[in-house]
Structure 1
Amino acid sequence: MSACPSALTAAPPTTNAPLLRAAWVVTAVFILSSAATPLYGHWQQQLGFGAGTLATIFTCYILGLLATLLVAGQLSDHFGRKALLLPGLGLAMGAAVLFQLAESVAVLMLARLLTGVAVGIIVSAGMANVVDQAADSHKRQASLLASVAMVLGAGTGPLLAGVLAQYSAHPVAIVFNLELALLALALWVVLAQPRQPRATSALKLRLPRVPRDSVGHVLRGIAFFGPGITCTSFVLSLGPGLFSAFAHVSSPLIAGGTAFAMFMVGVGVQFAVQRLAVKRIFLLSGLATVLSMATLWLAVHQVSIPCLIVAALLAGAGQGLGQLGGLSLIALHVPANRRAEANGVFNMGGYVPAGALPVVAGHLIDLHGMAVGVSVLAGLIAALALAALLSLGRTDRPR
């Protein structure tokens, strides 16, 4: 298969500094993506909306993310990473300003929509940009760094916001002014990158796809990343409320700390398994996801805080491992000039169930109670992970 001429295939830098700078861009935007989580209680009190409206606000983020993933990878592979990252960071900064100014649900919805668009650009162009900085012999290490950068940002955002919301009278202004400073640093990093020449062929937008001989690798990654990230979304949405109900304590610090611990496990396990074959990484991911859902079910039925904590930690491990395995396969088997598009397909496969299923669970809980809602969705996520594990058993050798 012929590749379009592009500077994306130029010799990568030999030092770690470009890799770390590119990873920082990913982290900064993912801090924004999750910083609002502990602050929704504040906005609910200020604006007077309920759980149904909160689900709609969350849906705006998913819609912005998925719509962007349809085109961001193709645009990045055609025009270059920098051409996409600059407007992506601009939209992220606009979202941070809107969060500060939000005095209505409509403004919050717009802020979340812009955040979803910015994250869609980052998971396509930003994560491909990290891998582009590495030599061919270090693509797996670059995939690890890109994955860790994403998870680190997703965990840091709610912890930072939770601490500030717990101890500050004006947490929204402080959180998002700080995020503006972090995004400004990321913008400086991208501005310092050389601009890549656009591909010589004409751009024809279409539904995102990957090269035919790489489809199996991307689907294998989605099979594990999808249940893993759905698992963390489920635990993230339910965990703080369950903890408050079990312990009879309500605190934004609990919400932020739960998310941080979960995602930090996701970071740690990726470093721990980085030298394992991808097949074994997927095996661990599937097992962690199944065990997380089993433990969450047990936590609800036994009203157990320790089980709830274990479920959150296992969820972080399941997502982190599935994400690392999927990104590693893309780095190893997808050409550089199609890598951002493949990242987009990979993330769409994960975020569709991660966005839809927790909302379904919320409605089930409203209609039939916590035990029924948790049991149905935990069983579904565990079944998806088990199906992925069974398909893994039919492959020949670890890759």
Structure 2
Amino acid sequence: MTSEPSTLPRLVEERPLPRRGLGFVAVVASLVMVFAASGAPIPLYERYRAAEGLTTGDLSLAAVAYFVAVMVALVVLGRLSDHVGRRAVALAAVVLAAAGSLSLLDVTGLGVLVTGRVLQGVACGLGSSAIAAAIVDLAPARSRWIAATAVAGSPLIGLTLGALGSGALAEHGPAPLQSPSLIVSALLAVCGVLLVLSPEPVARRSGALRSLRPQVHLPQAIRPLLPAAVAVFCGTWALGGFYQAFSPTISAQQLGTDSTLVAAVVFASFMAPYALGGPLTGRLSPFAAQRLGIVVFALAVLGVVAGLRSGTILAVVLCGMVAGAAQGAAFTGSLRGLLGRIGPGERAGLMATVYLFSYGGAAVPSLLSGRLTAAGVSLQTLSLGYAVLAGLAAAVVLLTAGTGRGPDTGAMR
């Protein structure tokens, strides 16, 4: 998925654009809302299960469908906006996210749920590529750090706001299974209007069909760092898949409450603190942040398991928060190490590959978990498997992190 520097589209810095500030606000709001749409159904899973006779295995399958859709969009559609423009692909992401939300207004079975989640997954994949690139293109020229902050934080903010807002509406608002989708769709429509009014930051160029050819990019320079990095990506995102699939069931079966708001808090307790991990370990070297983050993550997962087994919601929430922040530290440390080995022309392809490993790390355990719960394995027992995965990831990192040291560009130090 790497574009050669000579064929890169003309970026906004090369030509002044009207309404640049509006464009920046529009793309940041759009990225937040696309992921908010993805987070909104998660607290409602238990109500879907109770009303429509779905099983925990069905909920896990819906999570897998979402992850696979994101992965396909990243690999196949990740370069499309370089050819047809950021705005067109960003609008497509917003429309797909709204379509996914509207399709979940009346969940009558697994097929409807999977359809909605697939549409939302494709939207998130497009958002992670086209909208994120547009944020970089339209960011204020004098404060370039804002772009990195917005790209990293918007998905997490969106997931958290979507889950918490949906949980609160389902608990205290009218039409509990419909109002979250309607409100998210209305806000996405506002984002669509803002995008239409925004400038196009790149010039169109030929090759759109060729850009759809799937590619996975692994530069030679980063390969010594891959064992530790892949262990982090897979080990930490696996727990994210667990939270996405089972947060409502955890609240209902293990914590003794069917509150959608509690389910949203359980989910958000892991997702929201992710954004803190990078800044908290920013002064450490990439390898030190990677090691510290994954060790704290593994210990926090043990705390989550203990909370589940004892039915203590406070332990689950607090340890989930620590695990989320530790994931952020380990993930950003790993990413800094990888990006420090390559030049700008290889970064787009690398990012797609990083998220491919990450979503794969979430999808495969979620698929296995669904099969196991269908066979009668309890969530308490299942959570032990995720603790084992976290421990294995920590062991791999401690044994291999930093062993591939060598010259790097220093770009992300």
| TM band (smaller chain) | 0.7 to 0.9
Give 2:301's aligned residue. 293
Change (3 A) 1:206 1:195: same
Structure 1 residues 177 and 135: CA distance shift in structure 2, 3 A: closer
Kept in 1: contact 2:45–2:248 (CA 8 A): no
Within a 5 Å distance, the mapping from 1:32-47 to structure 2 comes to 32-47=37-52
Matched, 1:171 2:176: yes
> By how many angstroms is 1:84 displaced?
1.8
| Separation (CA, whole Å) in 2 of partners of 1:207 and 1:217 | 24
Alignment RMSD, CA only? 3.4
Match of residue 28 from structure 1: 33
- Which residue is 1:394 aligned to? 403
Structure 2: tracts of 5 or more residues without a match: none
Q: Residue 198 and residue 100 in structure 1: after superposition, are their counterparts in 2 closer, same or farther (change >3 A)?
A: same
Shift in CA distance, 107/303, structure 1 to aligned 2, threshold 3 Å: closer
Q: CA deviation at 1:223?
A: 4.1
CA distance in 2, matches of 1:284, 1:13: 44
Aligned to 2:121: 116
Give, in whole Å, the separation in 1 of the partners of 2:251 and 2:51.
23
Indicate how the Cα distance of structure 1 residues 271 and 234 shifts in structure 2: closer, same or farther if over 3 A, else same. Answer: same
Tell me whether 1:159 sits opposite 2:167 in the alignment: no
Q: Is the CA contact 1:8–1:80 (under 8 Å) kept in the aligned structure 2?
A: no
Which residue does the alignment assign to 2:241?
233
Taking structure 1 as the reference length, the TM-score comes to 0.85
SS of 1:7's equivalent in the other structure is coil
Does the C-alpha gap of structure 1 residues 279 and 273 become closer, same or farther in structure 2, counting only changes over 3 Å?
Answer: same
* TM-aligned CA deviation for residue 274 of structure 1: 4.5
Does the 8 Å CA contact 1:13/1:134 hold for their aligned counterparts?
no
Determine the structure 1 residue equivalent to 2:214.
Answer: 207
Contact 1:143 1:324 in 2 (8 A): no
Q: Where does structure 1 lack aligned partners over 5 or more consecutive residues? A: none
2:186 maps to which residue? 181
- Does structure 2 retain, via aligned residues, the 8 Å contact 1:139–1:328? no
Answer 1 or 2: which has greater helix percent: 1
Instruction: Please tell me the residue identity of whatever aligns with 2:202.
Output: Q
Counterpart Cα distance in 2 of 1:279 and 1:66: 27
Which residue, 87, 101, 118 being the options, matches 1:96?
A: 101
CA contact (8 A) 2:169 2:176 kept: yes
Match of 2:64 in 1: 59
| Structure 1 residue 172: Cα displacement | 2.7
| Counterpart pick for 1:382 among 372, 391, 397 | 391
Distance 1:138-1:345 versus aligned 2 partners, 3 A rule = farther
Q: Is the CA contact (8 Å cut-off) linking 1:81 and 1:129 kept in structure 2? A: yes
Q: CA deviation at 1:16?
A: 7.4
Aligned to 2:324: 316
Please give the TM-score of this superposition, normalised by the length of structure 2.
0.83
User: Cα gap change, 1:283/1:246 in structure 2, threshold over 3 Å: closer, same or farther?
Assistant: same
- Residue 285 of structure 1: how far off its partner (Å): 2.7
Asked if structure 1 preserves the Cα contact closer than 8 Å seen for 2:277 and 2:326, the reply is no
Write the distance in 2 (CA, Å) between the matches of 1:54 and 1:322: 28
Q: Distance in 2 between matches of 1:340 and 1:172?
A: 38
- Encode CA deviations 1:346-371: one digit per residue, 9 max, x unaligned: 21110112122133234335444444
Q: 1:74 is paired with a residue of what secondary structure?
A: coil
> 2:10 matched to 1:4?
no
Distance (Å, rounded) in 2 between the aligned partners of 1:286 and 1:31: 27
Q: Which amino acid aligns with 1:210?
A: H
**Residue 196 (structure 1) aligned with residue 202 (structure 2):** yes
**Bigger Cα displacement from structure 2, 148-157 vs 367-376:** 367-376
